[in-house]
């Protein structure tokens, strides 16, 4: 009976941890964009608190607030505000990189590639 209770308690704790696993985009990322208007280094900081994601896209033009992050079967869409405009990063995470298309119309369109930062 004790073994069954221990096994049950273990399964409950593992299931609970899985429910609260951090989103794969949570953390700090560094890299750049390559657009029709040139290249620029960027940073991305994503925090997860109580199941909600928030963050900043850090650029030479200032910090832009992340409005939303959605994940559709591994394709992540991150929307952000940049002044009066709204931009999007649409991509996938693979081998420690978040990469895809950058659309900050009407300012610039192109691609982005950021790598998970190990710096604290």
Domain boundaries, the chain: 23-116
Q: Is the pLDDT of residue 14 over 60?
A: no
Q: For the segment 45-65, what is each residue's pLDDT rounded down to a tens digit?
A: 999 999 899 999 999 989 999
Short-list 86, 78, 65, 101, CA closest to 23? 78
What b-and-e string marks burial along 54-72, b requiring 16 or more CB atoms within 10 Å of the CB?
A: ebbbbbeeeebebeebeee
Q: Is the pTM of this model over 0.85?
A: no
Place of tokens 């394709």: 75
Mean pLDDT of 1-21: 48
- Domain 23-116 indexed as CATH 3.40.50.300: no
């Amino acid at each position: 009976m004790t073994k069954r209770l221990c096994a049950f308690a273990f399964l409950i704790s593992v299931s609970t941890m899985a429910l609260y696993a951090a989103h794969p985009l949570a953390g700090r990322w560094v890299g750049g964009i390559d657009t029709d208007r040139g290249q620029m280094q960027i940073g991305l900081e994503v925090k997860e608190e109580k199941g909600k994601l928030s963050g900043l896209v850090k650029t030479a033009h200032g910090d832009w607030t992340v409005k939303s992050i959605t994940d559709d079967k591994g394709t992540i869409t991150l929307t952000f505000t940049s002044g009066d405009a709204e931009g999007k990063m649409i991509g996938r995470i693979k081998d420690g990189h978040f990469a895809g298309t950058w659309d900050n119309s009407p300012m610039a369109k192109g691609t982005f590639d950021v790598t998970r930062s190990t710096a604290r």
